[in-house]
């Protein structure tokens, strides 16, 4: 799997660390237990397009949001995480 | 017809022309008491115990492909009950005891082979962790032996004991662990369930879960609607997709795990060995191939194939452990999808929708759980109460902070 890093170009996936689902949003500190449980544990886990964090550990050290098809591993889009 | 030495001889003498199919290829009926989705080991075992132990009569197993075409048929067949936590040990030990009597129970040769499972340790800290695990096992009546370096050397002299980075100090051995023939487990449960009247419906994909007034009433399939008083999901890597049909999100991610088989060689490895300093485990099949694997690839996947970095990592682990395998050629290699739960332990529970039941989150260890999972899930489906060995496998444990985290690592879908 090659991941096209916006800074470094297409690089082997082993240069990156995958940090999973990028759609989760950390709730406020005083949010309900349900909101925290949802954030920490529950996942959509789609078969298809999945937005996920990849960290370019052996490269530019940027955090990326990669959109990848979980059925084919095809990379649909890459942007720098913010 | 029961299988026996006599039936084998009789059929041999008549040229093996009179064997009958081991199970019927059933067509869906309009209504069942219980429909199990997923014709893998867990689904078929559940149906068998529902009929056999709990006397539920109208049971169907609905499978999108043919039975055993999922991960039941793609795993590396290791069975063991060497767990640490009280929520897990009794359940996996129940499973191990069921394995020990399975072939007589099913009248089917599942090739259960108690050749032992040896987990190696390479540091003092790891020895202490294994001593603790072994003690926890023994306190629950499970066999465990802590071996020192000399004892491991007597068992497996060919390991790289003096590896510069990861010298082998010893291992934790469960002699009752071993392997079983995965396909035969599926076929044995299917045949036994079929004989008790269970309908095994193949090539029938579930596309929806129908509910009325908040209660599940049946499933939509590619072969039409099938009514059911209770629906049990046992779809392993596809658990999130099926749960989504009932509007649920699970504490599960689907990940790919790869496995490998070498060319066949003479008997070489007579046990199951795991490398403790990386992730590599190996055994030898009866055909002679070395069967081995390691870590999941580490990203969400439904693709049933992995990538090269993990292949390299697994092979490096193998070379660090037993350099003698370095010149063997790889014959086959494949990937399967794991339902990785967020604490590494399974879920056998009622779903928050009436009439729907979950059996999921098996990570990379669901094969060994097949008999216990089937019995516990059948118990839950029949009685609406958890089986006594599966009381910890609740869906709400995540929100309650009652996770069963064998690794003590916190929420992450790479545990098992
Ligand atoms: C490479 C690899 C190695 C492994 N090694 C081991 C090991 O050594 N020891 C161990 O204990 N475990 C191991 N496992 C894990 C083990 O294989 C699984 O946990 C276990 O097989 C899951 O239970 P099952 O057999 O019921 O699943 P499956 O056989 O996958 O059954 C689920 C069934 O559901 C069906 N299904 C899915 N969606 C639908 C639908 N919409 N409609 C109808 N049917 C559907 C699938 O086709 C499938 O047949 C390994 C897994 C892999 C991939
Ligand atoms: Zn980069």
Q: Does residue B155 contact residue B118 with C-beta atoms inside 8 Å?
A: yes
Return the closest-CA partner of residue B177 out of B108, B273, B255.
Answer: B273
The pLDDT value recorded for residue B345 is: 97
Rounded CA-CA distance A60/B303 in Å is 29
Rounded CA-CA distance B49/B223 in Å is 26
pLDDT band at B411 (very low <50, low <70, confident <90, very high): confident
Which helix (H) or strand (E) is B310 found in, with range? helix B308-321
Residue B361: count other Cβ atoms within 10 Å of its Cβ. Answer: 26
Rounded CA-CA distance B47/B346 in Å is 19
Contacts of B143 (CB under 8 A, 6+ apart): B137, B174, B175, B176
DSSP conformational letter for A13: G
Encode pLDDT of B184-226 as tens digits: 999 999 999 999 999 999 999 999 999 999 999 999 999 999 9
Among the partner-chain residues A14, A42, A68, the one whose CB lies closest to the CB of B251 is A42
* Chain A residues near residue B252 by CB distance under 8 angstroms: 43, 45
- Please indicate whether, in this complex, the C-beta atoms of A21 and B252 are within 8 angstroms of each other: no
DSSP labels, B92-135:
HHHHHHHHHHHHHHHTS----B---EEEEE-SHHHHHHHHHHHH
Min Cα separation B313/chain A (Å): 10
* Chain B residues near residue A47 by CB distance under 8 angstroms: 238, 241, 254, 302
Return the closest-CA partner of residue B87 out of B382, B359, B348, B356.
Answer: B348
**Is the minimum CB–CB distance between B39 and chain A shorter than 8 Å?**
no
Q: In chain A, count H helices and then E strands.
A: 1, 6
**Is the minimum CB–CB distance between A26 and chain B shorter than 8 Å?**
no
The pLDDT value recorded for residue B125 is: 96
Q: Does residue A43 contact residue A21 with C-beta atoms inside 8 Å?
A: yes
pLDDT band at B416 (very low <50, low <70, confident <90, very high): low
**Domains, chain A, ordered by start:** 2-80 (3.30.2270.10)
Predicted complex ipTM: 0.97
In chain B, residues under CATH classification 3.50.50.60 are 5-20+27-81+84-107+182-251+343-415
* Chain A residues near residue B250 by CB distance under 8 angstroms: 42-43, 45
Answer yes or no: CATH 3.30.9.10 is held by domain B117-178+254-341.
yes
Residues B311, B315, B316, B318, CA torsion sign: positive
Global pTM reads 0.97
Angle at B253 between CA A26 and CA A56, to 5 degrees: 65
- Nearest chain B residue to A53 by CA: give it: B299
B150, with CB counted inside 10 A (0-12, 13-18, 19+), is: exposed
In chain B, residues under CATH classification 3.30.9.10 are 117-178+254-341
Q: Does residue B96 contact residue B82 with C-beta atoms inside 8 Å?
A: no
Which of B48, B60, B66, B71 for a ligand 1 pocket mutation test, highest count of atoms within 8 Å of Cβ?
A: B71
DSSP labels, B36-61:
EE--SHHHHHHHHHHHHTS---SEEE
Among the partner-chain residues B298, B299, B302, the one whose CB lies closest to the CB of A71 is B302
Residue % of chain A over a pLDDT of 70? 100
Min Cα separation B130/chain A (Å): 28
Q: Give the pair of three-digit tokens for residue B76.
A: 């590396």
pLDDT band at B160 (very low <50, low <70, confident <90, very high): very high
Encode pLDDT of B311-358 as tens digits: 999 999 999 999 999 999 999 999 999 999 999 999 999 999 999 999
Answer yes or no: CATH 3.50.50.60 is held by domain B5-20+27-81+84-107+182-251+343-415.
yes
């Amino acid at each position: 799997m090659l991941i096209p890093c916006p800074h470094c170009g297409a690089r082997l996936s082993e240069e990156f660390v995958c940090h999973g689902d990028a759609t989760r949003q950390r709730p406020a500190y005083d949010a309900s237990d349900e909101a925290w449980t949802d954030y920490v544990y529950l996942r959509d886990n789609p078969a298809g397009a999945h937005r996920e964090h990849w960290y370019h550990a052996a490269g530019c050290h940027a955090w990326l949001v990669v959109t990848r098809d979980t059925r084919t591993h095809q990379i649909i889009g890459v942007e720098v995480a913010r | 017809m029961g299988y026996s030495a006599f039936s084998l001889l009789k059929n041999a003498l008549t040229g093996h022309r009179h064997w009958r199919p081991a199970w019927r290829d059933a067509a869906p009926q309009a209504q069942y008491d219980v429909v199990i989705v997923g014709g893998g080991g867990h689904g078929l075992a559940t149906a068998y115990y529902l009929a056999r132990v709990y006397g539920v009569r109208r049971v169907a197993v609905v499978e999108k492909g043919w039975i055993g075409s999922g991960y039941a048929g793609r795993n590396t067949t290791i069975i063991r009950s060497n767990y640490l936590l009280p929520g897990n040990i009794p359940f996996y030990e129940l499973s191990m005891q069921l394995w020990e009597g399975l072939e007589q129970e099913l009248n089917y040769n599942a090739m259960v082979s108690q050749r032992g499972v040896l987990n190696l340790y390479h540091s003092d800290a790891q020895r202490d962790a294994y001593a603790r695990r072994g003690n926890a096992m023994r306190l629950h009546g499970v066999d465990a032996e802590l071996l020192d370096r000399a004892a491991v050397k007597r068992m497996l002299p060919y390991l790289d004991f003096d590896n510069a980075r990861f010298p082998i100090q010893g291992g934790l051995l469960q002699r009752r662990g071993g392997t079983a023939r995965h396909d035969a487990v599926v076929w044995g449960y299917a045949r036994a369930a079929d004989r008790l009247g269970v309908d095994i419906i193949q090539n029938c994909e579930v596309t929806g879960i129908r509910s009325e007034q908040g209660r599940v009433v049946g499933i939509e399939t590619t072969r039409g609607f099938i009514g059911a008083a209770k629906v049990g999901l046992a779809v392993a890597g596809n658990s999130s997709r099926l749960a989504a049909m009932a509007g649920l999100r699970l504490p599960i991610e689907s990940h790919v795990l790869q496995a490998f088989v070498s060319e066949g060689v003479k008997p070489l490895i007579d046990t199951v060995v795991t490398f403790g300093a990386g992730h590599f485990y190996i055994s030898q099949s009866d055909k002679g191939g070395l069967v081995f694997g390691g870590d999941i690839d580490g990203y969400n996947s439904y693709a049933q194939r992995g990538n090269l970095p993990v292949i390299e990592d697994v092979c490096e682990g193998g070379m660090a452990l037993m350099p003698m395998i370095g010149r063997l050629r790889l014959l086959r290699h494949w990937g399967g999808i794991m339902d990785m739960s967020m604490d590494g332990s399974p879920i056998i529970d009622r779903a928050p929708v009436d009439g729907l039941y979950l059996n999921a989150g098996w990570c990379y260890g669901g094969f060994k759980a097949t008999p216990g999972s089937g019995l516990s899930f059948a118990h839950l489906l029949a009685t609406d109460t958890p089986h006594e060995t599966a009381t910890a496998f609740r869906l709400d444990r995540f929100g309650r902070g009652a996770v069963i985290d064998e690794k003590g690592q916190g929420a992450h879908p790479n545990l098992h």
